[in-house]
Each structure stands twice: as structure tokens, then as C-alpha cells.
Amino acid sequence: MDKSTKTLIHYEWKTFTRNKFQLLLLAITFVFALYAIYYGKSEINAQLDTIEAVKNLEEKEFAEYKASFQKELVTLEQEQTHDIASRPAYAWYRHGYHAILYPHALAPLAIGQRDLFRYYYRLTGMSLHYQLYENELANPVNLLAGNFDLSFVLIYLFPLLIITFCYGLFSSEKENGTLALLKIQVISIRKIMLIKLAFYLAIITGLALLVSLIGILSTANPIKSENLMASSLWLIGAIVYCVFWFAVMFVIISFRKSSSFNAITAAGCWLFFLIVIPGMLNVIVTVKYPVSSVTLAGLTRRTGLENEDDEKEAKEVITEFLHYKPELADSDSLIKNNLMPKAYAAFTSLKDIHNQEEVDYYNSQINKRNKWIANFYWLSPAVNMQEIFSQITETDLNTFLVFQDALVSFHRDISDFYFKRLFWDKPILLEDYSELPVFKMPKSDNRYLIVFTGLSKISLIALLAFIVGYIKINSISK
């Protein structure tokens, strides 16, 4: 490092430490970041408490069922519990299984969609659609709202901090009459501006890394193999995003305009990237791929057989159902025993089958929205960064779509477990409880590919902006 560079850094450090307003801004941002970490942890901890509670309820429920096989039935309540535990006619709609989407260790840093969509379901053998669509899958109004988590602070507040520190780096020299003195120095104006930007880049990016490390260490063990990659990508993302905004400021400064022009232009860029583009994309995708939960309203209403005492209707329902599930038609006593429980089981399954086309269309529209918006992330590095943080912490919309797909498979396992025993007139035995359906959440294979692609796009845009500023600012001394 040459003497002139050291002198400039020393001068900027003195200017920085004497500027109480800038120090106050850094302190306020740091406090906001700490609160955001606390807020994110409180939200996820509340979800973890709920998850623990529903797990305990399920464990208690099935423990009572298993215990009913091993003790003498004395009271009416014990007999009822044993009937629910051993008779498929009751068990198929009374036994509840919790499918849970556990939060990633870093989820408190970017809550994403976890406060909008359900992260657990209690499923029985009844209609899946009834259990699944009690709440709306995609609400455009809710999707526009964010959380005051660390990702919000990094994406929304840090650019404002960068703008405040950098908008007057060149114009203040011009307005204070010191530009002429800088021009006669051995070091070029371009290098002076780059040193100044690098100085504040180190301070603000250092703050971003500091609060990120505090957030990571307070929520997870970054050394663990399952957290190491996510933690590293989060830190890289914070650096890349800060570098992008410094590149934007470099371009604005290179036009050699006044401080007011720089401030207004930079604020306009902030509004454009963080407010205008997301709003426009939301409006366009709503028109292009309209989604209305009204079409699914009928699926969330309880319905039953028109005449519960009509055996003919019950047999017709069972016959239609067996057309779709012929493997259940092997029992000689199919129509003779437990007719109405079988009819209700068949009816609720047929309801799902008959409405599957509407559900598929609804889900396809959601997927098309997701994919279409992903094609335009390059328009706004802020939106792109938000998606990157959500992907890192597994709180993105696609994770919830995969979760709902996994629910379909899980519900099928539940139905098969009970319907085989119900339609074949077989009781549920104690040893059957070792074969109960278990929910499995598939892992996304391309999550980190999406993250690397997104970071590459932001880095490329930052590089292009830097090159434009580097070329443009060279004309100052000419």
C-alpha cells in the first residue's frame, strides 16, 4: 500500500469518526439487526413449541391406543379407546398423523413463507382436499408483506445505509471547493473515489458480516455439516449484495452531479429495485396466471351420503370406488360387514378423485406463477437476494409446494394402511402399530444450484455497473 493510499484512508477514518450522524446510523442499524434476529428467533421458537405440542399429542394418542391392547378393559371409556385402536371402521378417520415441515436451523434469519403457510397438518384417512385447503395456498396481498427478520434488514435497510454514506463522496469535494486540489495530486480522481468506496465498503460490509455471524451463531452451529454450506452462502450473499449497491453508487457518482441529484437518483434506484419491480411482477403474474381459492371452496365443506340409511346408495358408492381401487375388492364379505363405514370411506376418497382436476389446475397455476417470476429475478437483485436467502434457509415458496406434494403421498399411505383392513374386514393388531405410516419430507436437489445461479446474476450485474462507473469516472480529469 503506497503512502498516498494510506493518507487517504487515514483522512477518511478521521472524517468518519468525527461524523456523529454516520456513527449513529451504524449504531441504529446494528440495533435493528439485533432486534431482527430476536424477532426471527421468537417466531421460529413459537413454531417449534407448536410442533413439539402436536408431536406430544400424537404420541399420547397412539400410546393410549397401544396400551388398550395390553390391559383389562374395565370402563366404557377404555372399551371405546380399544374400539378406535383396533377397529378400522373407526380408526380410518379417528387416527391422526402429523406431517411436519421442520424449520431449517437458519430459518430465524429469513422467515420467508413460514408465517404464511401451514408448516404442519394433522391427516386422517378422510378427504385430503378437505384437510389440505382449509386455508389459501397463495394470497398475493400476504405475499407482498415481509417480516422484520435479518434478511429484511440486509435487503432493505443496508442499501439505504450505503446510499447515505456514499452519495456525497465526489459531489461534496466539488461543492466544498476541494476538487481542484484533488486534481493536482499525483493520484488520480478515479483511484481516490475507489479508495473511498472501498473504505466504506469495508465498514458497511463488515457490519453486515458481523450481524450475520451473530445471527448464525445464535441460531445454529455453523460447523455442523448440515449448516456449514448454508452459513457460508449466507455470508457470501451478504457480501455480494453490499458490493452490488456500492457498484450502483459508483455509477451514480461517476456522472459528477450534485449531492442532491445523487441522493435522489440513489433513492429512486432503491424504490425501483425493492418496491416498483416486485409490485409490477406481482400485478402481471396475477393477471397472467389468475388464481382464486373460490374454486376450491367446495372442497373444504363437509359432505356426506344423501341418505345415510339407503343401502343401495352405499353399495353404489363402494362399487364406484372399487373401480379406482380394484385391489380392495378381494373380500367375500365386502358388502356384508361394516357397510356404512366402507361407504363413507369410499365417498370421501371419491370426493378427492372427482375434484382432482380442479386441484391440479390450481396447483399448476401456482407453479406457473413461481416459475414465471423466477425468470425475472435478474431485473431486481433485491428480489433475487430475497429468494436466495429464502432458499438458503428453506423458507421459500417452492419448499411449501414440495411439502404439499409430500402430503399427497403420505395421505395415500394412511389410506392404504386403514382401507386394506377396513375393506378386507381385518382388525388392527398391536403388532400393526410398528408399521404405521411415517411422513418423509423430500430434500430439494437443486436448492444450492438456485442459490449459486442467483448469486452469479447479482455478481454479474455488480461487475457491469462497476465497469460502467470505472470508465465513466475516468473522464473527470479530462
6/3 Cα distance (integer angstroms): 5
Selection from 352, 358, 369 nearest residue 293 by Cα: 358
Is pLDDT of 451 > 70?
yes
Q: For the segment 1-27, what is each residue's pLDDT rounded down to a tens digit?
A: 678 788 888 888 998 999 999 999 999
Q: Both ends of the chain: CA-CA distance in Å?
A: 26
Q: Which element (helix H / strand E) includes 121?
A: strand 120-123
Would you kindly state where each structural domain of the chain is located, as residue ranges? 3-477
Question: Residues with Cβ < 8 Å from 115, sequence gap 6 or more?
Answer: 43, 147
**Confidence band of 123 (pLDDT split at 50, 70, 90):** very high
Residue 297, number of CB atoms within 10 A of its CB: 10
> Mean per-residue pLDDT for 167-174?
80
- Cell numbers that stand for 306 in this block: 344423501
**Confidence band of 30 (pLDDT split at 50, 70, 90):** very high
> Mean per-residue pLDDT for 196-219?
97
> Mean per-residue pLDDT for 376-404?
93
Average pLDDT, the chain: 89
pLDDT of residue 303: 65
State which amino acid sits at residue 269.
C
Cα–Cα distances (Å) from 275 to 29, 145, 269, 282, in that order, read: 21, 11, 10, 11
**Confidence band of 143 (pLDDT split at 50, 70, 90):** very low
pLDDT of residue 141: 40
Q: For the segment 83-113, what is each residue's pLDDT rounded down to a tens digit?
A: 999 999 999 999 999 999 999 999 999 999 9
Q: What percent of the chain has pLDDT over 70?
A: 89
Selection from 191, 194, 187, 206 nearest residue 166 by Cα: 194
pLDDT of residue 191: 85
Q: For the segment 414-442, what is each residue's pLDDT rounded down to a tens digit?
A: 999 999 999 988 999 999 999 999 999 99
Half-sphere exposure of residue 1: CA atoms within 13 angstroms, side-chain side: 8
pLDDT of residue 140: 41
Selection from 194, 177, 182 nearest residue 253 by Cα: 194
Contact assessment for residue 442 and residue 402, using Cβ atoms and an 8 Å cutoff? yes
343/349 Cα distance (integer angstroms): 10
- Cell numbers that stand for 324 in this block: 379406482
Contact assessment for residue 403 and residue 120, using Cβ atoms and an 8 Å cutoff? no
From the centroid of its chain, how far is CA 25? 30
Contact assessment for residue 469 and residue 169, using Cβ atoms and an 8 Å cutoff? no
